[in-house]
Amino acid sequence: MKVKDVMTKNPVFLQDSDFMTQARQVMRDRHFRTMPVVDAKKRVVGILTEKELLNIYSTKSNVTVQGFTSEFPFVYPEMDMMEAAKLMIEADMGRVPVLKSGQDMTLAGLLSVVDIFRNLKPEKIPHKKLHEIMTTDVKTLSPKDNIAKAWMNMKQTGFSGFPIVKNGELVGMVTRRNIINAGYARIEREDNQGTKSTMSPAVEKVMSTPAYSLPSESTIAEAIQAFLKLDVGRISVTNDGKLVGIVDRNDIIKVFI
């Protein structure tokens, strides 16, 4: 199967001259985690991710998108889907723009891990269980930890979400999307009400609940179905309510490849 068969055609994009505050509003309203950035001729110049949005503080900033774009692996419509998946895994990206060709950087579409999940052939899914592929050394937060701490951990580790644990029990998940959607993307310096980061609200005010989880004995096929149904980037792995690991989309794609 080729990229052109599964990619999103005519995707929403940002102009490199757009203000970052405008980009933040678009991504928040549309629940996008990644957006391609193009120049005046619709040639892709980079991508903008939620991670970059966390570096913008002022509601009146005149900083443009151009200075915050990230590099991305080059993917083309005629490329094999799993070849593109390998490039995405190596770059640790869940979404990438699709270019018309190696000579033409014009935006042709957008390919996501979700697109790949939806087109995996069931008979080729490895017969493995989550405890065989999950990450067991999981960074967690408490419901009472403040949002500024969660944000700083995201910036320092590169992770886009953390499980929330209370008394050893999994109670929720906090992600970049939670922070951005709640209007705390500038919490490191100052939030919308002018509250200093040392007084920022607790994570429990923005975390997603209930916490999505699967038992460690669940199969990869069951996990894929859960990712597609829930539209989340990671799922906690639990045994009797206790967190024992975490699995994200890339973990599953790696095994599938």
Report pLDDT digits (tens) over 159-186.
888 999 998 889 999 988 888 778 775 5
Q: Are 98 and 42 in contact (CB under 8 A)?
A: no
pLDDT of residue 191: 43
Are 172 and 236 found together in one domain? yes
Which residues of the chain, if any, have pLDDT below 70?
A: 54-61, 185-199
Are 93 and 141 found together in one domain? no
Are 73 and 104 found together in one domain? yes
Are 36 and 71 found together in one domain? yes
pLDDT of residue 126: 86
pLDDT of residue 252: 86
pLDDT of residue 59: 57
CATH number of residue 237's parent domain: 3.10.580.10
pLDDT of residue 12: 92
CA dihedral 29, 34, 40, 44 (to 10 degrees): -160
* Domain span at 142: 130-256
What does residue 218 show for φ and ψ, rounded to 5 degrees?
Answer: -65, 150
Task: Tell which residue, 28, 13, 161, has the closest CA to residue 95.
Answer: 13
